[in-house]
Structure 1
Amino acid sequence: MEERIRTRRSSNNRSRSLCRTSFKRHSNDFVKNDEKFASVKDFSDTSYESDQDEIETTNSPSLDSGKFVNEEEDSNMYVYCVLLFVLICVAIVVFILNPSSTSSKDADKEIHSKPKLKKYAKKIAHILKNDFPNDYKNNNTQAVLGLIGERLLTITEARGPVVVLVAGSKADTLADSINFVFLNITGNNEVSPIFCNEKKKRNELEREIKESLSKNTKSIVLHEIHKLREDAPLALHSFCDQDHSPFYSSLFLLTVKLHFGIMLNCEDGLYSHLLEVWNSDFLNEDQIRPILSRIFSFVICLRE
């Protein structure tokens, strides 16, 4: 009996010893695993923090990169300014060297009208030399007649009617001759001149001017406008207006068949005479002066 009890105690002690050994071994393994897990965790945390630092470093703009962007923008702006300056210079040079490109129509007309202008000048010179020898070398007469040719034969865009006032005892003859030359060169139809007198009314004069300039012609002669009375001179106010005339690029040849002396005295005398004879109950000086300003653009005072 005692042996059996001893044997059981020995067996229990051995089992306890084995349990302690097993528990100790498992405890050591647990500690090792725990240390291993801790080291892995530390490594993971360190790696995560490293990755976060790297991400922050990558995403955060550096001073150097900002400086590079600014320098690149400045460089692009400089290139743009240089190109713009070059384009402006090229445009200016092209315009200066080839101004005809902006007015090709004027250039074409000038090329084709040069023969007409030469023909006109030749015919006018012939008329002055043969029929008006005293005015053949008159600089003012030549200048006015030359301007008529340039305005009507070489300029493309309409710039208002050309109004020429001729004064002198042979004013009707010169006006008719100029009109004939102009019609001959341009090929327009010839119309009869309008003869003014004391009985011609304003509406009658307006109707005659409209009918004459509506017959495929661009020139008209009004003889002895100084004989107009009442409000008839107002017809000239609208037709001879440079901005509102219904007949642009037309030639109006007006005559005053009176002699007023040499050039300067002629213009002053002619102006004063028309201001006086047109003054009436129908027209006062304030109404007459605007009419005179329109018809005194080009004045030819004949010496006879």
Structure 2
Amino acid sequence: MPKPKERSDSEPRLGATAKFAYDRMTVERFRNAFPRARWNEEQRSWFVPGKTAGKRIAQWLARESENLDLYADAKGRDAYAFDPISSQYLQIEDDIQIRTPYSRDVVEQLRLIPWARWDDEMHAWRVPFRSYEALRRSWPDIDAAARASEPEERKRRKEAEKHTAKSERAKLRYAERRRRRYPVPAGALPPIGQAVTTCSYRVVIIAEVAGEYAEPDDIKRFYPHAAGDPRDFVWVRWRPASLAELVATWPAREKPNAFEKARGWWRPVLDELREARSEARRLERKKQRRTAPPSERARGAAHEGTH
């Protein structure tokens, strides 16, 4: 019996790509409809394998469009006109554009807004008017987090916290982070050289197993997720993941379960990879500006601190 012909690496795969404005719920619906879809970071699109992928994607997009309220944006504009949000962080164009100092709390809040998305080119979050009511409900928290992240406010808090117990704890945590070690159960070691999400340091690359047992006092002080666990823990060494490594990492299909969280590491899911890639890009741009001519550094500094 003849063997089936194997596809060479250079032979293009059958399939089609899908692009749509990112929001968490839409991505979940898409992945439920196309479980074999894979995100292509370079093309910023989803690849769906199969001969009929293009037709199936078109049908799915059509259904998504039908489910949208055709008058939702108009209603949102009316709601804004009646009860506008007045803020230095907002700019009203065809949609609502939001620029704030970087704050993880702001990012988390905006990710919960339906159809909100980050625009890399504009360096702004863009929210369609159909989501105005959701944005208005969340705005007090977003505004407070943004104001707390202003450089002057950060500086004021830093000065006020000097020589306090909180400041001393922060110094100890910083010193521990610089050691780039992480406790894992001796019987559940993470893969070496691959990206994993950790409870304390988010997405990192595990460099090696140190072979040294972690002391319970160190675990209790710096790693509360493992405190009280009767298992033996050993130290592994980690390093930050490069953008290339993050792009090459396939996301996990499912969110981490209780067992994975208890051991302190798991394969990163798509949202975790998105955040890690965004941070890696920011660091790369910052590094490039350091070596750029003065005129380019000044232009790039205008975007520093926004997200």
Q: Specify if TM > 0.5.
A: no
Q: RCO higher in 1 or 2 (8 Å CA, sep ≥ 6)? A: 1
Q: TM-score, normalised by structure 1?
A: 0.23
Q: TM-score, normalised by structure 2?
A: 0.23
**Structure 1 or 2: more strand by fraction:** 2
Which structure would you say has the larger Rg?
1
**Structure 1 or 2: more helix by fraction:** 1
